[in-house]
């Protein structure tokens, strides 16, 4: 993929190692080089059908810790980014989670996959790019996100947005018995949920767990 090749050329050329969905691990010369976890096109089905919702997603990992993220929607160039300890931004404007977040019944929730039952949201969206949907939770464009798929998300799908979520103050959780999203950064796929507040996250996850038992 051309985008992957261009990213590798730039990142490795500037001293980073890269863990990419398309090309796997490409190491820089320095063994302790920071790692960029890369998805060149998150939402590739959208891209293949000319649906204008697909992103470039990057996460920066240093010494085994997630320290930054960048998500850009590639048709309108909406940008979401964060550096740990320096805040989160949408189109260069600071963003933060709303402490007065709506309850689930009044929320707009992005969904991946199919829940077994209606989870109680006000409205839902299925946009086809997890990185974009998660970043939109951080910016307040969406209230929450939940992955109801069977396969879950790979690290390159969510790590870039996770950095933005964390720095904006949003709440994030793994739905399975897998490690927390910040752990095992290059490991197995997992299903995650995110919300503008811990209360909304708890309400959404509780509804999902109840539906899964039916």
Domains belonging to the chain, first-starting first, are: 2-95 (3.30.540.10), 104-212 (3.40.190.80)
Mean pLDDT of 122-138: 97
pLDDT digit string, tens, across residues 48-106: 999 999 999 999 999 999 999 999 999 999 999 999 999 999 999 999 987 666 899 99
pLDDT greater at residue 32 or residue 40: 40
Per the CB < 8 A criterion, the answer to whether 166 and 172 are in contact is yes
pLDDT digit string, tens, across residues 182-214: 888 888 899 999 999 999 999 999 999 988 766
Cα–Cα distance between 153 and 159 in angstroms, integer?
10
In the block, residue with structure tokens 């096109």: 41
Per the CB < 8 A criterion, the answer to whether 25 and 17 are in contact is yes
Enter the tokens of residue 151.
Answer: 């396969």
- pLDDT category at 1 given cuts 50, 70, 90 is low
Residues 6+ apart with CB under 8 A from 24: none
Residue 5 has pLDDT above 70, yes or no: yes
pLDDT digit string, tens, across residues 162-172: 999 999 999 99
Mean pLDDT of 28-36: 84
Q: What is the pLDDT of residue 211?
A: 82
Residue 159 has pLDDT above 90, yes or no: yes
Q: What is the pLDDT of residue 214?
A: 61
Residue 28 has pLDDT above 90, yes or no: no
Cα–Cα distance between 10 and 87 in angstroms, integer?
25
Cα–Cα distance between 75 and 148 in angstroms, integer?
27
Order of strands, sheet of 144-148, starting from the edge strand that comes earlier in the sequence: 123-125, 108-113, 144-148, 192-195, 171-174
Cα–Cα distance between 38 and 49 in angstroms, integer?
22
Would you call 156 helix, strand, or coil by DSSP? helix
């Amino acid at each position: 993929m051309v985008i992957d090749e261009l990213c590798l050329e730039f990142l490795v050329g500037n001293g980073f190692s890269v863990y990419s969905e398309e090309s796997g691990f490409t190491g820089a010369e320095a063994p302790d080089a920071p790692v960029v976890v890369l998805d060149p096109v998150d939402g590739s089905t959208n891209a293949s059908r000319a649906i204008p919702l697909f992103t470039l997603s990057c996460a920066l990992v240093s010494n085994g810790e997630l320290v930054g993220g960048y998500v850009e929607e590639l048709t309108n160039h909406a940008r979401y980014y964060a550096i740990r300890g320096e805040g989160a931004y949408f189109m260069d404007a600071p963003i933060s989670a709303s402490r007065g977040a709506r309850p689930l019944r009044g929320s707009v929730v992005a969904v991946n996959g199919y829940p077994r039952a209606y989870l109680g949201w006000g409205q839902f969206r299925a946009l086809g790019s997890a990185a974009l949907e998660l970043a939109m939770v951080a910016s307040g464009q969406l209230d929450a996100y939940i992955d109801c798929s069977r396969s879950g998300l790979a690290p390159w799908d969510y790590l870039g947005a996770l950095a933005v979520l964390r720095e904006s103050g949003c709440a994030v959780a793994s739905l399975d018995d897998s490690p927390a999203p910040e752990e095992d950064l290059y490991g197995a796929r997992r299903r995650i949920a995110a919300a503008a507040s811990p209360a909304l996250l708890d309400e959404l996850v509780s509804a999902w767990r109840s539906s899964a038992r039916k």
